[in-house]
Structure 1
Amino acid sequence: MRIGISLLIIISGFTSLFLGCKPRDKSQETRENNEISSLLEKRYQNLKDYSVDSLAFPRSFDLVSGEIKKVPSKDWTSGFFPGNLWQLYLLTGDKDFKEKARQWNAFIEKEKFNDGTHDMGFKVYGSLGKALQVEENNHYKDVILESAKTLSTRFNKTVGCIRSWDFNRDVWEFPVIIDNMMNLELLFEATQMSGDSTYFNIAVSHANTSLENHFRDDHSSYHVVVYDTVTGAVKNKLTHQGFNDESSWARGQAWAVYGYTMSYRYTKRKEYLNQAESSANYFLDNNHLPQDGIPYWDFDDPQIPKSPRDVSAATIMSSALIELFEITGKEKYLKYSDKVIKSLMSEEYIISEDIEAPFILDHSTGNWPKNDEIDGPIVYADYYFLETLLRRRALKSKPNK
């Protein structure tokens, strides 16, 4: 199947979501669809053409230097690129994406024994988990189960959480970051695959403890909560990648909404749904959220509106809110996701077709305090963008959606 033909069908379908009953010049609409399809076709082709290399998972791209930041499988972002390829196969039907995804997956598998990281879900479930959406594969399931077993070794019963980072131990006795909510999906799935409730119980304990300690009164989230391993008490709360400790780091808010929406899917615990909705409403109703739905990297950066945006925060949130809409039926969540799709399907956010790099979207912000990966393409922004497109397509196929 040619990518361009299938993409045009997909883009035309998504464009129709935003037209309503308003009269529109059909020739103009066709031209716009063709232009968007052409841009995405080139971007998708760049992902497919990227050379397979076990030490060169593409993480981000510097538009000024033209350099691709490449990382080995131990990097927390490594699973997103093969995950992108699996999702592109689902979007386009092009079997070349599937074959490339299989090749990249093979380099991820050894991470199942890496007990020095909490990012097992991002790496293993983000790649092999997406593969299982395409094909039954008992080997992939075995890797996921081994990964869940390894991740479980980082759980501390006294704290009630999985340890996040291992660095800065002289300052942070037992740090837990809001991002870690995303890794619980691996554990929930491991219980479903194996019937062993141990993984489910660890995930619920982690979610419960984070629910109690990670959120402010306005339902925004701290980035890091540091615990005492002897008593389990909270020692400190901070926002390591935000503007300051009390600021609202945009991607952290998206992790929180996605994490608790996903946790509700597996547990049906009402408190998780309540937190997902409360944090989503904080994000959507924030006075500093731009009209196009793409947030600044931190809602409290005093340089707004001159601050860099974070497309990755928008795509994580847009994917989460499609699921939250399916659960609650509340239109505001779907409207935000549709707004993000519309905004990102423009020349402002899609990388120029003449740039040869395995990325789709521009204007993400990685780690602002370290001046690292600022206002450029980052692999996980693409991952959640593609997931948003797939979830929206699936939703559109349902009656009255």
Structure 2
Amino acid sequence: MNEKIIQEYIKLGQNVDQVFLKQEMDWICEKLLKNIDRFQENFPSACTTNHIYRIKANDDWTNGFWTGMLWMAYQYTKNEAFYDIVMKNIKSFQQRLADHFVLDHHDIGFLYSPSIVMVYRDTQEKSLEKIIVEAADKLLNRFQEKGQFIQAWGQLGNPQEYRLIIDSLLNLPLLYEASKITNNPLYAHKADAHYQQVINHIIRSDYSTYHTFYFDVETGKPDHGATHQGFSDQSCWARGQAWAILGIPLHERITQQKNDESKWTHVFEYFIDKIPQDLIPYWDLCFDDTSHEPKDSSALAIVACGLMEAQKVGYRQDAQMIAKGMIGALSQTYTSSKYKDVEGLLMHGVYAYSENKGVDEENLWGDYFYMEALYRLLNPEWKTCW
């Protein structure tokens, strides 16, 4: 592993103190208040166009990140303006379930964990339990017995879509939450099965990761890995590697099954070995400083949260300090704190390069995980939505 990069992060992390964290949260909450004035009860699009989010209904896989940021802002400021919008958002998420509106995918966890679960853990409001369980039921309906995995996209059983993707590791906590609420182990058992299929097949022998992995629709046997958003089937999409770095210790913390420390360590080291000079990864880890390719700041924000989860389960003692350094690196030139006309928080992200979608723009998950990382550091005992 590139120890020089680790030491550079640790050096930067020494400057990430409580004063810094509060300053970052202050400007973020100020910007979110400004954005609320524009979006009202609607939602920002998944990514910006020319650094401005489009106004949308509750119809995308990313809307939970918006509500999650608003609730963190409420927890931090106690400003009722945040609370009022979150309560309206909750009604919208409840209606989306009732209408089964754009829910034929696996990202139901991304929708309902940062929104409903986060508020539930903070308030213990019993009426939210029904929403959580209903959302988990919709996710569970995508579980394929042949192959023992949750199908990511498309019509169930479609041979062209008989696959999982690495992002799914962050959808599983919703199932574990439903198991706790209902005392029904089925949700957790299916989540466990899917998790095993992800880490057993999507991680390559060199500890890079495929974005997506296919199974045989007739037999359920593992078939082949591929990409959907990475540079190629053989490359390593940066955000995909980041999902693994967060998803593995997250699963071990939830399940109390510490089995994958060695695998996580190698996956993390692969990521670190591909970090360029300015400490921010390119959108695919196959690129280096000679490539002139766009960065994906969101991948580093996700990894920072993953390191804090890793410290919780005892993977490495310096994990939190490395995470602080990553946040320090992002704060220097990758946030919009000095740009009033930029609506997002974390600049220089990539949504889907091959579709020319959100390239060198802000995106909701980048904003969310940057803010989550800050709030984790500010409140070490805070219960995340995962």
- Whether the TM-score (by the shorter chain) exceeds 0.5 is yes
Mapped to 1, the partners of 2:66 and 2:151 lie a distance apart of 25
Provide Cα deviations, 1:93-146, integer angstroms capped at 9, x if missing partner. Answer: 323222222222221223335351111100011211111233121121110101
- Given candidates 287, 293, 298, the residue that maps to 1:301 is 287
Name the counterpart of 1:388: 373
Name the counterpart of 1:238: 226
Counterparts in 2 of 1:329 and 1:35: CA distance versus 1, 3 Å = closer
Q: Does the 8 A contact of 2:334 with 2:348 survive in 1?
A: no
**Residue 223 of structure 2 aligns to a residue in which SS?**
strand
Q: Which amino acid aligns with 1:145?
A: V
Mapped to 2, the partners of 1:323 and 1:275 lie a distance apart of 15
Mapped to 2, the partners of 1:350 and 1:184 lie a distance apart of 31
Superposition RMSD in Å = 2.9
Give the Å deviation of 1:307: 1.4
**Greater mean deviation of Cα atoms: 33-42 or 273-282:** 33-42
Give the Å deviation of 1:33: 9.3
Counterparts in 2 of 1:278 and 1:92: CA distance versus 1, 3 Å = farther
Q: Which amino acid aligns with 1:376?
A: E
Q: Which amino acid aligns with 1:52?
A: Q
Counterparts in 2 of 1:244 and 1:106: CA distance versus 1, 3 Å = same
Residue 319 of structure 2 corresponds to residue 336 of structure 1? no
TM-score (norm 1): 0.83
Q: Which structure's CA Rg is the greater one? A: 1
Residue 191 of structure 2 corresponds to residue 203 of structure 1? yes
Give the Å deviation of 1:73: 2.2
Give the Å deviation of 1:157: 1.3
Residue 48 of structure 2 corresponds to residue 61 of structure 1? yes
Higher relative contact order structure (alpha carbons within 8 Å, sequence separation ≥ 6):
2
Provide Cα deviations, 1:140-191, integer angstroms capped at 9, x if missing partner. Answer: 1110101111111110112100000107987624021111111000001110
Provide Cα deviations, 1:213-245, integer angstroms capped at 9, x if missing partner. Answer: 111012111001111122111232112111110
Name the counterpart of 2:63: 78
Residue 374 of structure 2 corresponds to residue 378 of structure 1? no
Mapped to 2, the partners of 1:17 and 1:172 lie a distance apart of 45
Q: Does the 8 A contact of 1:47 with 1:85 survive in 2?
A: no
Name the counterpart of 1:251: 239
**Greater mean deviation of Cα atoms: 294-303 or 384-393:** 294-303
**Residue 375 of structure 2 aligns to a residue in which SS?**
helix
**Residue 308 of structure 1 aligns to a residue in which SS?**
coil
What are the equivalent positions in structure 2 for 1:108-123 lying under 5 Å apart? 108-112=93-97, 114=100, 116-123=104-111
Q: Does the 8 A contact of 1:88 with 1:97 survive in 2?
A: yes
Give the Å deviation of 1:67: 4.3
**Greater mean deviation of Cα atoms: 33-42 or 105-114:** 33-42
Counterparts in 2 of 1:34 and 1:237: CA distance versus 1, 3 Å = closer
Mapped to 1, the partners of 2:72 and 2:294 lie a distance apart of 28
TM-score (norm 2): 0.86
**Residue 270 of structure 1 aligns to a residue in which SS?**
coil
Give the Å deviation of 1:334: 1.8
Identity rate of aligned residues, in percent?
A: 25
Counterparts in 2 of 1:98 and 1:274: CA distance versus 1, 3 Å = farther
What are the equivalent positions in structure 2 for 1:116-195 lying under 5 Å apart? 116-166=104-154, 172-195=160-183
- Given candidates 11, 14, 17, the residue that maps to 1:18 is 14
Mapped to 2, the partners of 1:235 and 1:33 lie a distance apart of 45
Counterparts in 2 of 1:41 and 1:152: CA distance versus 1, 3 Å = closer
Residue 188 of structure 2 corresponds to residue 221 of structure 1? no
Provide Cα deviations, 1:192-233, integer angstroms capped at 9, x if missing partner. Answer: 111000000000000111121111012111001111122111
Give the Å deviation of 1:34: 10
**Residue 350 of structure 2 aligns to a residue in which SS?**
coil
Name the counterpart of 1:268: 256
Counterparts in 2 of 1:108 and 1:272: CA distance versus 1, 3 Å = farther
> What residue ranges of structure 2 are gaps of 5+ in the alignment?
1-10
Name the counterpart of 1:9: none
**Residue 116 of structure 1 aligns to a residue in which SS?**
coil
Give the Å deviation of 1:310: 0.8
Name the counterpart of 1:88: 73
Mapped to 1, the partners of 2:153 and 2:246 lie a distance apart of 20
Name the counterpart of 1:360: 345
Q: Does the 8 A contact of 1:59 with 1:71 survive in 2?
A: no
**Residue 48 of structure 2 aligns to a residue in which SS?**
strand
Counterparts in 2 of 1:329 and 1:207: CA distance versus 1, 3 Å = closer
Q: Does the 8 A contact of 2:308 with 2:319 survive in 1?
A: yes
Q: Which amino acid aligns with 2:167?
A: D
Mapped to 2, the partners of 1:16 and 1:245 lie a distance apart of 34
Q: Which amino acid aligns with 1:343?
A: A
Counterparts in 2 of 1:101 and 1:34: CA distance versus 1, 3 Å = closer
